[in-house]
């Protein structure tokens, strides 16, 4: 005999039946808005741009996309392209600038960030406050950072030239100097993102138990030996994660460059690949097909890089 | 190898005395155990010897050399930590090789010494593994190997068996003792376990509340405790301590018992207490002899069979319980009256006011 529960009847005053929402329906109600948004905003553009990268097409043209196979990729990677451009399409130049920028900027960030973390490792009065202050640049919007660093670099008004040079600062406009402009952007990026590296390293450093250093002192290890054999290996996984994040970001860098130099001086001395992409894809070029192909090349590069790092990280973890 | 001397060494954390001035000389090759309940200052003392903790005052001599302010690395001592403190990101081989590499020894020397010491501790098959994948016992063997490989002047061990299972602890205790005998290296060993202290130490230093209570051989500590704390702390169970009143050569004990003080003790008690006064009678469970003609009277509260013998818990009255050894052949039903005698060689007396042992005059 199944038990019959003595459930009371519904309250007589509540006449309207409630709308019954089953678990399944509820699940769908929650999932689909997100899924639709994702499909419309991410999945569709991803595949549509993949398709466009194999076509000759302009976003503002009235001709439909014309299938040209891998021609766009060929042109970009072989550095040829439109015959009217004398020295090819200069995509390799953009990749080279991006690569140089990534190495300089990420390298410096790791050094500065790690050094800051070493300084802040030991707890002292006001430790929290100092850490928070150092983190501020990271929390600012890149566009804002770009605008006021432009002022800082300004040869006549800016404090940078004033501090760096005793002679007439007007001669030292870093952002207008083909040799120094990229370094100027690197300086800003390092200023902004070293705190991020510091934060990761700090987490790693603080997680190293004191007794390891005690054991090392007993084992008669010098400070340098301790750093090399305990500190560095222990922080390595976090350094690698910082390296991964910052390299990916460096390859995507657009906002700082757009704000500070927009690829200038000399037209393209600081034109990183993302900026080139922007120039191809939007006015006045509207070279949609070719820029899609360039975008895919960047995507593949970044994915390849990430995989390298993740593999290295895996090997570190095993060890 | 080395002698270790502590001269008025003390440690304060702010106003708090972690270690009251301690004087201790440890001759070359001796195995000294610092024992006491947690927070008694034994680990702080050990860390001061190692240099991991600075001293507030006093002098530490290592082989006659003043090392009071020397960095741990300048003291030529090895330290074995309670939780092993192995370099978990390195393999066992690198862990053991670390002290040698830090000194820039040649690769051949390192390989040879690591092989030697891992043979000695029977961990050769573990050299390629990571410390994290080893059992507690093996991790401690690796820690011992790392300490041994450098051939230091002295070994300091901070509860090295504390993190091990009971089963491993017995094995490792024997191994460490064997190691000490083979190496005959000066060793200072910290533990809260008095059984470990008794089993391992050539000499024992009993500490309580930052103060050294007694220094002596296990035999002295066990049979001639300096005060009530040591008497109670050492032994399982500790010494029976019954307060009574001494007068005219007898002690009036709870439960209308009278104990006739052995002839040889009377002058000492009279000297300490006068003709009449409160006294604590102390005796080990094995000093009791249950016999029908015994002069002390009690009833059985409980009886535990320990295999080889029976531990009796005997009520003198409602509150005073005495631990006594009974024969394993006899049944002791709860509530039965039991009479017992005390071995006159094994009774001790304490002054309840000062808590210190009353000593016989040296003859």
Residues of chain A with C-beta less than 8 angstroms from the C-beta of B87: 212, 215, 229-230
Q: Mean pLDDT per 10-residue run, chain A (319 residues)?
A: 49 64 87 93 89 81 78 76 56 84 93 92 85 88 85 76 66 73 87 92 90 90 90 89 88 83 76 81 78 86 87 75
Residues of chain B with C-beta less than 8 angstroms from the C-beta of A313: none
Confidence (pLDDT) at B1:
65
Confidence (pLDDT) at A169:
55
Residues of chain A with C-beta less than 8 angstroms from the C-beta of B85: 209, 211-212, 214-215
Q: What is the DSSP letter of A231?
A: I
The token pair at A311 is: 């593999």
Mean pLDDT in residue range B239-248: 90
Mean pLDDT in residue range B258-267: 88
Please tell me which residue, A76 or B316, carries the higher pLDDT value: B316
Best of A217, A219, A224 to mutate (most B CBs within 10 Å, chain B):
A219
Residue B173: which H helix or E strand, with range?
A: helix B166-183
In the predicted structure, residue B117 carries a pLDDT above the cut 80:
yes
Residues 6+ apart with CB under 8 A from A121: A202, A205, A206
In Å, how far is B85's CA from the nearest CA of chain A? Answer: 6
Residue of B nearest to A316 (CA): B89
The pLDDT mean for chain B works out to 89
**Among A262-271, B31-40, B214-223, B267-276, where is mean pLDDT lowest?**
A262-271
Query: B72 at the A interface (CB within 8 A)?
Result: yes
Residues of chain B with C-beta less than 8 angstroms from the C-beta of A234: 89
Strands of B217-270, DSSP E: 240-247, 250-253, 257-260
Domains of chain A in sequence order: 25-78 (no CATH), 94-270 (1.10.3720.10)
Inter-chain residue contact B102 with A225, CB threshold 8 Å: yes
Query: B50 at the A interface (CB within 8 A)?
Result: yes
Confidence (pLDDT) at A16:
67
Confidence (pLDDT) at A318:
65
Confidence (pLDDT) at A85:
52
C-alpha span between A99 and A239 (Å, rounded): 20
In Å, how far is B144's CA from the nearest CA of chain A? Answer: 12
pLDDT tens, position by position, B94-110: 999 999 998 888 999 99
Predicted ipTM of the assembly:
0.79
- Which band of pLDDT confidence, cut at 50, 70 and 90, is reported for residue B156? very high
C-alpha span between A22 and A10 (Å, rounded): 19
In Å, how far is A229's CA from the nearest CA of chain B? Answer: 9
CB-CB neighbours of A233 under 10 Å: 15
Residue of A nearest to B145 (CA): A219
pLDDT tens, position by position, B45-82: 999 999 999 999 999 999 888 999 989 888 889 999 88
Residue of B nearest to A224 (CA): B102
Secondary structure of B104-152 in the HEC alphabet? Answer: CCCHHHHHHHHHHHHHHCCCHHHCCCCHHHCCHHHHHHHHHHHHHCCCC
Residue B231: which H helix or E strand, with range?
A: helix B228-233
Across A176-190, B161-175, B256-270, the highest mean pLDDT is recorded for: B256-270
Query: B73 at the A interface (CB within 8 A)?
Result: yes
C-alpha span between A154 and B257 (Å, rounded): 102
Residues of chain A with C-beta less than 8 angstroms from the C-beta of B83: 211
Inter-chain residue contact B146 with A212, CB threshold 8 Å: no
Residues of chain A with C-beta less than 8 angstroms from the C-beta of B79: 214-215, 218
pLDDT tens, position by position, B339-358: 888 998 899 999 998 999 99
Quickly count helices (H) and strands (E) in chain B: 9, 21
The token pair at A238 is: 């976090």
Query: B85 at the A interface (CB within 8 A)?
Result: yes
Secondary structure of A63-81 in the HEC alphabet? Answer: CCCEECCCHHHHHHHHCCC
Residue of B nearest to A215 (CA): B85
A211, A220, A225 ranked by CB distance to B85: nearest: A211
* pTM metric for this prediction: 0.75
A211, A234, A319 ranked by CB distance to B81: nearest: A211
């Amino acid at each position: 005999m199944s038990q019959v529960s003595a459930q009371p009847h519904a309250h007589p005053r509540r006449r309207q039946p409630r709308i019954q929402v089953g678990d399944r329906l509820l699940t769908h109600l929650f999932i689909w808005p997100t899924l639709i948004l994702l499909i419309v905003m991410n999945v569709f553009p991803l595949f549509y741009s993949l398709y466009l990268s194999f076509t000759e097409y302009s976003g503002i043209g009235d001709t439909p996309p014309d299938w040209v196979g891998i021609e766009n990729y060929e042109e970009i990677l072989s550095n040829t392209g439109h015959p009217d451009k004398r020295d090819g399409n200069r995509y390799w130049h953009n990749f080279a600038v991006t690569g140089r920028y990534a190495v300089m900027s990420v390298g410096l960030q790791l050094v500065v960030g790690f050094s800051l973390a070493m300084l802040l490792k030991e707890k002292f009065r006001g430790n929290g406050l100092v850490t928070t202050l150092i983190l501020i640049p990271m929390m600012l919007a890149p566009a804002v950072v770009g605008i006021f660093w432009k002022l800082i670099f300004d040869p006549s008004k800016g404090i940078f030239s004033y501090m760096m040079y005793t002679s007439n600062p007007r001669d030292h406009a870093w952002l207008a100097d083909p040799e120094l402009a990229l370094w100027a952007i690197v300086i800003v990026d390092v200023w902004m993102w070293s705190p991020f590296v510091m934060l990761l390293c700090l987490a790693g450093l603080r997680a190293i138990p004191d007794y390891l250093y005690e054991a090392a002192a007993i084992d008669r290890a010098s400070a340098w030996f301790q750093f090399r054999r305990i500190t560095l290996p222990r922080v390595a996984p976090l350094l690698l994660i910082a390296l991964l994040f910052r390299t990916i970001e460096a390859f995507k860098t657009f906002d700082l460059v757009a704000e500070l130099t927009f690829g200038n001086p000399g037209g393209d001395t600081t034109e990183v690949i993302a900026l080139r992409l922007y120039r191809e894809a939007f006015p006045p070029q509207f070279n949609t097909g070719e820029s899609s192909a360039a975008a895919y090349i960047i995507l593949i590069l970044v994915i390849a890089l990430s995989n390298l790092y993740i593999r290295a990280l895996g090997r570190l973890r095993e060890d | 190898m080395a002698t270790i001397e502590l001269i008025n060494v003390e440690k304060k954390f702010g106003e708090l005395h972690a270690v009251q001035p301690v004087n201790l000389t440890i001759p070359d090759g001796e195995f000294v155990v610092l024992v006491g309940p947690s927070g008694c200052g034994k680990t702080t003392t050990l860390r001061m010897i190692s240099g991991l903790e600075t001293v507030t005052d006093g002098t530490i001599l290592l082989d006659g050399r003043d090392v009071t302010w020397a960095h741990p690395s300048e003291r030529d001592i090895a330290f074995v930590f309670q939780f092993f403190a192995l370099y978990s990101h390195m393999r066992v081989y690198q862990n053991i090789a670390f002290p040698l590499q830090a000194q820039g020894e040649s690769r051949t020397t390192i390989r040879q010494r690591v092989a030697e010491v891992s043979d000695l501790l029977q961990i050769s098959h573990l050299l390629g593994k990571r410390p994290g994948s080893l059992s507690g016992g093996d991790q401690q063997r690796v820690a011992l190997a790392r300490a041994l490989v450098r051939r230091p002047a002295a070994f300091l061990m901070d509860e090295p068996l504390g993190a091990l299972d009971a089963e491993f602890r017995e094995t490792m205790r024997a191994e460490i003792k064997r190691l000490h005998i083979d190496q005959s290296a000066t060793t200072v060993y910290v533990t809260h376990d008095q059984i470990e202290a008794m089993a391992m130490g050539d000499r024992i230093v009993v500490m309580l509340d930052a103060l050294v209570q007694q220094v002596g051989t296990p035999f002295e500590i066990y049979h001639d405790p300096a005060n009530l704390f040591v008497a109670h702390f050492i032994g399982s169970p500790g010494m029976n301590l019954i307060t009574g009143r001494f007068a005219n050569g007898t002690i009036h004990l709870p439960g209308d018992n009278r104990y006739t003080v052995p002839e040889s003790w009377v002058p000492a008690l009279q000297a300490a207490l006068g003709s009449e006064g409160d006294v604590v009678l102390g005796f080990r469970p094995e000093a009791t002899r249950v016999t029908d003609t015994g002069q002390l009277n009690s009833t059985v509260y409980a009886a535990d069979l320990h295999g080889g013998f029976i531990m009796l818990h005997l009520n003198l009255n409602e509150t005073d319980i005495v631990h006594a050894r009974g024969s394993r052949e006899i049944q002791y039903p709860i509530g039965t009256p039991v009479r017992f005698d005390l071995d006159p060689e094994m009774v001790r007396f304490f002054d309840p006011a000062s808590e210190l042992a009353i000593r016989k005059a040296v003859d």
